[in-house]
């Protein structure tokens, strides 16, 4: 699921910036806007995508609970429930259990529950580092007391922007790697089950 991100996100261009003394503040603000917007796009992507996987994860897990509960109750009610005058065949309990197991396997294979958890985790991490970045940025501006930033301050702020983008990209990479590991492990489990 995470690999579809490349087709969903459009990476914007930072543009041509003028770092002359009279334009450096405007250029610095452009970089700030660029990196914050990149982080916000990632947060929005996770917010949007987690809705679908949350719904599907809940659907599959609730279906599993319902089906397995019915399977557990079937033997107790087999004599009480009559279909065509005959008691309910206990084989239906086995069929219901098989359906419940299939729902769990499908959830694991498609990664709905795992994706939901990963998306929440990544979204929170990116929000946290973005909030820290924004507050730190404002603290740096406050320290200037309205004066224009010097060369050292400009370099420090640009480094903070780079760090934010690197941290966001690290989160995305780790989430994608986790997706790949989960998918590989699921395939191994399925292969082992088929080989038996």
Instruction: Confirm whether 122 is domain-assigned.
Output: yes
Please report the DSSP string for 59-123 in residue order.
HHHHHHHHHHHHHHHHHHHTTT-EETTEEPPTHHHHHHHHHHHHHHHHHHHHTHHHHHHHHHHHH
- Using only C-alpha atoms, the chain has a radius of gyration, in whole angstroms, of 26
Number of folded domains that form the chain: 1
pLDDT at residue 4, as a whole number: 46
Q: How confident is the model at residue 125 (pLDDT cuts 50, 70, 90)?
A: very high
pTM, 2 dp: 0.78
**Domain boundaries, position 155:** 15-189
57 has pLDDT over 50: yes
CA–CA gap between residue 159 and residue 28 (Å, rounded): 11
Task: Taking residues 136-158, report their average pLDDT.
Answer: 91
Q: Which H, E and C letters describe 6-61, residue by residue?
A: HHHCCCCCCCCCCCCCCCHHHHHHHHHHHHHHHHHHHHHHHHHHHHHHHHHHHHHH
Task: Taking residues 87-109, report their average pLDDT.
Answer: 88
Q: How far is CA 121 from the centre of its chain?
A: 7
Q: What are phi and psi of 10, to 5 degrees?
A: -110, 120
Residues with Cβ within 8 Å of 129's Cβ and at least 6 positions away in sequence, in order, are 39, 164, 167, 168, 171
Instruction: Confirm whether 29 is domain-assigned.
Output: yes
CA–CA gap between residue 131 and residue 118 (Å, rounded): 20
Of the candidates 152, 64, 57, 65, the one whose C-alpha atom is nearest the C-alpha of residue 114 is 57
Instruction: Confirm whether 3 is domain-assigned.
Output: no
pLDDT at residue 2, as a whole number: 42
Instruction: Confirm whether 112 is domain-assigned.
Output: yes
Instruction: Confirm whether 132 is domain-assigned.
Output: yes
Instruction: Confirm whether 196 is domain-assigned.
Output: no
Torsion, Cα of 44, 45, 48, 54 (10° steps): -120
pLDDT at residue 8, as a whole number: 55
Task: Taking residues 3-17, report their average pLDDT.
Answer: 60
pLDDT at residue 14, as a whole number: 79
Instruction: Confirm whether 74 is domain-assigned.
Output: yes
CA–CA gap between residue 63 and residue 56 (Å, rounded): 10
pLDDT at residue 124, as a whole number: 97
Q: Across the chain, what does the average pLDDT equal?
A: 87
Q: How confident is the model at residue 1 (pLDDT cuts 50, 70, 90)?
A: very low
Instruction: Confirm whether 9 is domain-assigned.
Output: no
CA–CA gap between residue 44 and residue 41 (Å, rounded): 5
Task: Taking residues 147-166, report their average pLDDT.
Answer: 93
Percent of the chain exceeding pLDDT 90 equals: 59
194 has pLDDT over 80: no
5 has pLDDT over 70: no
């Amino acid at each position: 699921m995470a690999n579809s991100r490349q087709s969903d996100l459009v990476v914007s261009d930072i543009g041509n910036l003028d770092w002359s003394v009279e334009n450096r503040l405007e250029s610095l603000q452009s970089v700030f806007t660029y990196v914050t917007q990149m982080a916000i796009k990632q947060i929005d992507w996770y917010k949007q995508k987690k809705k679908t996987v949350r719904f599907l994860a809940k659907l599959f897990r609730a279906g599993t609970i319902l089906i397995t509960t019915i399977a557990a109750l079937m033997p107790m009610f087999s004599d009480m429930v009559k279909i065509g005058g005959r008691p309910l065949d206990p084989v239906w309990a086995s069929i219901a259990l098989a359906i419940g197991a299939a729902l769990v396997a499908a959830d694991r294979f498609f990664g709905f529950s795992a994706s939901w958890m990963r998306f929440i985790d990544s979204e929170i991490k990116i929000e946290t580092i973005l909030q820290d970045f924004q507050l730190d940025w404002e603290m740096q501006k406050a320290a200037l007391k309205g004066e224009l930033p010097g060369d050292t301050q400009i370099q420090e702020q640009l480094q903070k922007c780079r760090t934010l983008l690197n941290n966001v990209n690290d989160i995305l990479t780790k989430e994608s790697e986790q997706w790949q590991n989960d998918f590989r492990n699921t395939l191994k489990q399925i292969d082992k089950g088929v080989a038996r």
